[in-house]
Structure formats: C-alpha cells, structure tokens
C-alpha cells in the first residue's frame, strides 16, 4: 500500500510541474519510447502468467505483450508481480503501465480502464474432486446443494458468475491465487474451483499422476454467455495513445503464424478473438 501511495503522490507532483510550466506533459507512450522500458503488472496464474525455472516470466499475456512492445521498438519490460485482486488498483496508482495477466474485459472494468482487443476467447469450467463429479454436473447444481461451496480467485469474474448462479458470499471462498484454491479443494473446504479452462488444464498438467483425483466439469456457455471470457491488456484511461499503439500491433499479430506457434507451445487451443478495442 505504501508503494501505491508514494507513486500517486509522485505522479501528482510531476503533473503540477508541467501544468505550471504551460507545457503538455509527455504521455506514458512518450516516456516508454524515450526510456525503452514498459512496466507491466502481472499475477501468476498459468498459463496466462508463470515463472520458468531460470526465473524468466512467461505465459500467454507476457509473451504476447513482448511481441507487441518489440514491434513498437521497446524490448525491455519490467515485470511487477502483485495479487490478481490488486491489479486494477495498482494500475490506477501508476505502479505499472499495463496489466498483462489474462484480465477479462467486462463492462464494469471497461468503465475504469481501457482494454485492447481480446487476445483469446475462453470458456469457464469447474474443477471438482473426482468422486464428486456426478453430484456437481453444473454450477446451478452446486448452488442447489445447501452445503455447496466454491473457490474463486479474488477480483476475478468467476466470483460474479458464482453469485449469479445463487452462491452467496458465505458459500464463495475468495483465494489470492490458484494454488490456494486447489489446496482448499483438496482439503474439502470447497466442492469446486471455478476458473478459465486454460488455467484448469494447467493445473491438471502440473499433477499428471492425479487424473482420478480431480475432474473437469464443462459448463453450458450457450445458456450463460457470461461463462465465456475475453482476456485483454488493460491501461489507464488517460493512456489512450499507448493503448491504441499496442492494439494496432495486436491487429496484425493475433492469428499470425508466430502467434499460433506461441499458443501451440503454451498448450493453448482456445479460439483466437478478432474483435477490435473499446472506443
């Protein structure tokens, strides 16, 4: 929290100085191009963001951002890890310039930040203990059970999806990261973990010898369109020129052979989105 307060004060002082001098302050895009480095907020959630054994940050969001920034002549990215639920707060405070964490575009978030076009279209699924899969065929079935509980990532859209299905706050366990959610499921504290399909698949790949212990329950996206998510990069609303520059690059990169090779290497088979950025 001290990091956010200090950054906010520093930005306010700098803005006042430029205004006093009667000069238009340089934009965030100007500063990034001048210094050759962009600060990106991340939250670890494979396959969107993870760290390799050698310490390098990898994943769908970081690697697509790297390709976009390279096209803009910026080859240095300062990764700023935080909790998923703190991403928007720290972006607003100026701790970093862009969120690169598989953040879904929602109307509520779009009123607060600027999104690029989505990089993928992905479904939401449930992860349950293997023996319980027959008892929990749908999210609504879980909600109908008086003792049914679900774990969701704090700040993620899955919390809203669970609430809309009838799981009130007493039956939703908000966790700071995926590992905590899986641990809660393993311990029987919850009956299901609600996440994007790629994240659930990443969990399964990390536990190859436990296929029978955990089961994936697909959810009916035709009846509930909200179960389909659109991850994108997010920027402060004052940084429209930066958002536009990144989005223009994505318009050429997404769906290209290089992008498809990246997705294949990450084990992603999600549908590539093609819609443009927000106005």
| CA–CA gap between residue 216 and residue 46 (Å, rounded) | 16
Q: For the whole model, what pTM was predicted?
A: 0.85
What one-character-per-residue DSSP string does 50-96 give? EE-TTS-EESHHHHHHHHHHHHTT--EEEEEE--GGGHHHHHHTTS-
DSSP bridge pairs for 45:
49
CA distance linking residue 232 with residue 105, whole number of Å: 6
Q: List, as one string, the DSSP characters of 127-185.
A: EEEGGGTTT-SSHHHHHHSTT--EEEETTSTHHHHHHHTT--GGGEEEESSHHHHHHHH
The two tokens of residue 109 are: 């978030």
Whole-number CA gyration radius for the chain: 20
Residue 58 Cα distances to 24, 92, 170, 215, angstroms: 36, 24, 35, 27
Domains of the chain: 2-120+230-266 (3.40.190.10), 122-228 (3.40.190.10)
Indicate the SS3 state at residue 237.
coil
Identify which of 83, 76, 80 has the alpha carbon closest to the alpha carbon of residue 45: 83
- The encoded tokens of residue 184 equal 């809660």
How does pLDDT run along the chain (279 residues), one tens digit per residue? Answer: 555 555 555 555 555 544 455 566 889 999 999 999 999 999 999 999 999 999 999 999 999 999 999 999 999 999 999 999 999 999 999 999 999 999 999 999 999 999 999 999 998 999 999 888 888 888 999 999 999 999 999 999 999 999 999 999 999 999 999 999 999 999 999 999 999 999 988 888 888 777 568 888 988 887 777 888 999 999 999 999 999 999 999 999 999 999 999 999 988 865 665 566 776
């Amino acid at each position: 929290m001290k990091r956010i307060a200090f950054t906010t004060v520093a930005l306010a002082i700098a803005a006042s100085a430029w205004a006093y001098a009667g000069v238009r302050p340089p934009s965030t895009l100007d500063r990034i191009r001048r210094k050759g480095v962009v600060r990106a907020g991340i939250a670890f959630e494979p396959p969107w963001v993870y760290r390799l054994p050698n310490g390098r940050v990898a994943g769908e969001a970081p690697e697509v951002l790297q390709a976009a920034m390279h096209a803009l002549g910026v080859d240095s990215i300062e990764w700023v890890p935080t909790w998923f639920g703190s991403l928007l707060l720290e972006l607003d405070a100026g701790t970093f310039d862009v969120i690169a964490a598989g953040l879904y575009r929602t109307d509520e978030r779009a009123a607060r930040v600027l999104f690029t076009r989505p990089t993928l279209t992905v479904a939401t699924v449930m992860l349950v203990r293997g023996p319980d899969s027959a008892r929990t065929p749908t999210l609504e079935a879980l909600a109908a059970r008086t003792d049914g509980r679900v774990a969701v990532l704090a700040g993620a859209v899955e919390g809203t999806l669970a609430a809309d299905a009838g799981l009130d706050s007493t039956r939703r366990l908000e966790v700071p990261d995926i590992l905590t959610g899986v641990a809660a499921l393993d311990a029987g504290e919850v009956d299901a973990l609600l996440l994007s399909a790629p994240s659930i698949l990443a969990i399964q790949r990390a536990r190859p010898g436990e296929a029978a212990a955990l089961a994936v329950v697909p959810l009916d996206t035709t009846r509930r369109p909200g179960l389909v998510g659109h991850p994108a990069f997010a920027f402060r609303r004052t940084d429209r020129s930066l958002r536009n520059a990144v989005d223009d690059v994505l318009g050429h990169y997404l769906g290209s052979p290089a992008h498809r090779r990246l997705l294949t290497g990450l084990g992603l088979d999600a549908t590539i989105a093609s819609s443009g950025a927000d106005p």
